[in-house]
Structure 1
Amino acid sequence: MGIPEIPVAKRGGHGYHRRAMGSESRLSPAETWYAQGVEAYKAGKYEEALVAFARALSSDPKYHRALVFQGLSHMELKNYDDARRALEAAVELAPTYAKAHNALGNVYRRTGDLDLAIQSFTKAASLEPRVAEYHYNVGISRLDINHVPEAIDALKEAARYAPKDVDIQAELAAAFMRNKAYHDALQVLEDFVRRCPEDDRVVEIKVRISKLKKKIEDERAAAGEAPPPPPEA
């Protein structure tokens, strides 16, 4: 599966909520440009967003949130060198800002710098351990370099904090399968279906469950094992 979208900064942060309340005059010039840039970014207007973030940073060169979104905008435009420079600057200015580390990790991952990506995602997870996305990013990056046991550990953490996220559950099951832990994979998928029967992707997950059960049966048959007894009525 692909890299998950980076969450857009919440409106409640950094004075941004005041714009929504009609008090834009109380924002600094940097905050005003930042707010406009975020709106452009959310609308997929990345070139327009870059202009706004550049103006925000011209007004306040240490505005690390603007640097983060500048980096994200460059990443969406596949300007990876510019994205990396902006996000490395953001991390240097705000070393405890988890979103900056996570965003930088995504740039590293897209450019194939997987060791650096894992370092960045791990740092983000250490700063905000209850954010499932950061553990998920560690997990899928570990899978990229075939560190399957470590990937499973990270994806378990992600699943713990987001038990209803189908992407996380599916990726955890896939990691178990790569480790030939088919029963664990089956348990993850069946638990998800019981937990979220109305999810849009339940039909897809049920198809995976059927295929996985068939694989387990085939493995048993190949090993000369008797099939399990049918469940009691």
Structure 2
Amino acid sequence: MSEIIGVDPNRAQAYLNRGNTFARLGDFEAGLGDYGRVIALEPKQFEGWYNRGSARVAVGQYDEAIADLTEAIRLKPNVGYAYCSRGLSYLRKAERAKALADFEKGLSLWVDMPLCYYGRGEIHLADGKHQDAIDDFSRGIKSKPTAESLTQRAAAYETIGEIQKALKDYRSALSLQPRLKTAEAGIARLTQSRQN
């Protein structure tokens, strides 16, 4: 892609592709630069705004992510995953009402959005709505299990006394991310309480 950019530095798709490669490799800063170039070359391209917004979420630039994702939504208002990413930014900024509205909108547009389920589940968990949290985490996990979502569902199970299910989730989280402190602590806590 860099070779294509060298030959034709005004080719937005080449910057988009290279930015996506950087993002997949975890080099979000480099990806941000390429996405910015896409936007400069083709400001009406949804993918440039969406991808830059998503990269900004990954690096914790939530205000900037919200601005980018809002522009992406303006360009294509019927793309559910853009709402889910923006909702995550709102959630990380503790703007829960806006986050929940975006998660609901994203799910109304596309029912299989793990990120929206995880975000909404996180809100339910914080609100003490443990069964609603379990239901949302379960729907997300069915599509795309993550160590974090498994530990959050385990915490909800633990709170309502479903110890075997909590242990199973903590162990599954460790299989995805060995040495995950929250999962290790959960297993230690539950096995110790069963021995007492």
Per the shorter chain, which TM-score range? 0.7 to 0.9
CA gap of 1:116–1:199, structure 2 versus 1, over 3 A, is closer
Deviation at 1:31, TM superposition (A): 1.3
- Higher gyration radius (CA): 1
Match of 1:110 among 92, 104, 118: 92
**Over the residues paired in the alignment, what is the CA RMSD in angstroms?**
3.6
Aligned positions of 1:116-131 closer than 5 A: 116-131=98-113
Match of 2:189 among 211, 218, 222: 211
- Normalization by structure 2: what TM-score? 0.73
Counterpart position of 1:155: 137
- Normalization by structure 1: what TM-score? 0.63
Counterpart position of 2:51: 69
Say which structure is richer in helix.
Answer: 2
Paired-residue identity, %? 19
Deviation at 1:112, TM superposition (A): 1.2
Counterpart position of 1:10: none
Counterpart position of 1:173: 154
Amino acid of the structure 1 residue aligned with 2:40: S
Aligned positions of 1:10-159 closer than 5 A: 29-41=11-23, 42-46=25-29, 48-76=30-58, 78-159=60-141
- SS of residue matched to 1:177: helix
How many residue pairs match? The answer is 191
CA gap of 1:62–1:140, structure 2 versus 1, over 3 A, is same
CA gap of 1:125–1:197, structure 2 versus 1, over 3 A, is same
Structure 1, 204-213 or 150-159: larger mean CA deviation: 204-213
Unpaired segments ≥5 residues, structure 2:
none
- SS of residue matched to 1:61: coil
Report 1 or 2 for greater relative contact order, CA contacts < 8 Å, sequence distance ≥ 6. Answer: 2
Aligned equivalents of 1:122, 1:196: Cα separation in 2: 26
- SS of residue matched to 1:112: coil
Deviation at 1:174, TM superposition (A): 0.2
